[in-house]
Chain A
């Protein structure tokens, strides 16, 4: 499949490289040219430098023919808006959006976006670890 990944930080770049390893086609967008280096020298997809909200940038990355779209910039609101553009304007079949704020993530999840909230995941995992420890901890701890 063909995937557009917006945001080439630690998350976006790793997703893009992983998809390439699995044999998919990937184009990546970031507003900083330096972010491109995260993809490695042999990255076969296109790298589009520009602001994610700009239609020319999204179109240059191929949003209108994408099978999946990943919104993973460092801005929650940017991700939320471009994910809705991908879904509602271009009808991209699968749209994933990273939202750090758990409340906003839940609100947009309820509105039909597929949100990934790393903060919520950390809360749940750390809480579960602590509960596990408490359950098997020696008396008096």
Chain B
């Protein structure tokens, strides 16, 4: 596989190393002269100097035959443009973009650029996972489908403990997928009775995640 990496900072350089170790072919584009000199020492001809948002720089780096383009510069607007050019001008099958400022995620979503990776968002979801009583744990977000998979652990205080799934007024577009109880997974139906300690996986539209949390977990103090 030929992977074009635009942005030769720590993220780009480490992705390049990992791909090379797995036997892939890469090129890495960097526009800062001092950083480029370091990359050239390590990656030799695979390091390319230039502004990766310039079309001729991408062409010279072989974007025309790239299977994947990874935009990991420190500027979100640059990453957006790189991905648009890669996908729409050069028909690159797969693009991956780094989001530096999580507030810019909405721009990537608007323009249909993904998958995206944002370290701030990842850290926040790790914190959520470590503090499960907080509220819903967001396990996976399916942006294109506008759905997310969340996890909730029912406590003794949960207003739905002891109730049947069929009685719950789940928010529109949400569904309980499975219940992990005593180390066994149950696929719930309307007759399943919820119990404290149940670890519930649910699928929900992000806009309704708050309603689902209110339904399943006790009101926060």
Contacts and interface: CB of A to CB of B under 8 A. Distances in A.
Interface of A: 53-55, 75-78, 80-81, 84-85, 88-89, 101, 103-104, 107, 111
A101 B52 CA distance: 13
Contacts of B56: 103
A103 B107 contact: no
Interface stretch (B62-70, B72-80, B121-129, B201-209): B72-80
A101 B80 contact: no
Given A77-B81, A80-B77, A55 B88 contact: no
B120 interface: no
Contact of B77 (A53, A88, A111): A53
Given A84-B111, A107-B85, 20 more contacts: A53-B77, A53-B104, A53-B107, A54-B103, A55-B106, A77-B77, A77-B81, A78-B77, A80-B77, A80-B81, A81-B81, A81-B107, A84-B110, A89-B110, A101-B54, A103-B54, A103-B56, A104-B54, A107-B89, A111-B88
A53 B53 contact: no
Interface of B: 53-56, 75-78, 80-81, 84-85, 88-89, 101, 103-104, 106-107, 110-111
A84 B113 CA distance: 13
A78 to B, nearest CB: 5
Interface centre among B75, B77, B103, B104 (most CB of A within 10 A): B77
A40 B103 CA distance: 33
Main SS at interface, chain B: helix
B80 A55 contact: no
A111 B111 CA distance: 12
A75 B77 contact: yes
Contact of A77 (B75, B88, B106, B110): B75
A76 B85 CA distance: 14
In the A-B complex, the 7 residue pairs with the smallest Cβ-Cβ separation, listed nearest first, are: A77-B77, A103-B55, A81-B77, A77-B81, A78-B77, A77-B78, A81-B80
A54 B168 CA distance: 40
Nearest to B108: A81
Contacts of B78: 77
B59 to A, nearest CB: 9
B103 A77 contact: no
Contacts of A101: 54-55
B111 A88 contact: yes
17 contacts: A53-B77, A53-B107, A54-B103, A77-B53, A77-B75, A77-B78, A77-B81, A78-B77, A80-B77, A81-B77, A81-B81, A85-B107, A88-B111, A104-B54, A104-B81, A104-B85, A107-B85
B107 to A, nearest CB: 6
A36 to B, nearest CB: 23
Contacts of A76: 53, 81
Contacts of A88: 110-111
A43 to B, nearest CB: 27
A67 to B, nearest CB: 21
Contacts of B80: 77, 80-81
A141 B53 CA distance: 41
B209 to A, nearest CB: 21
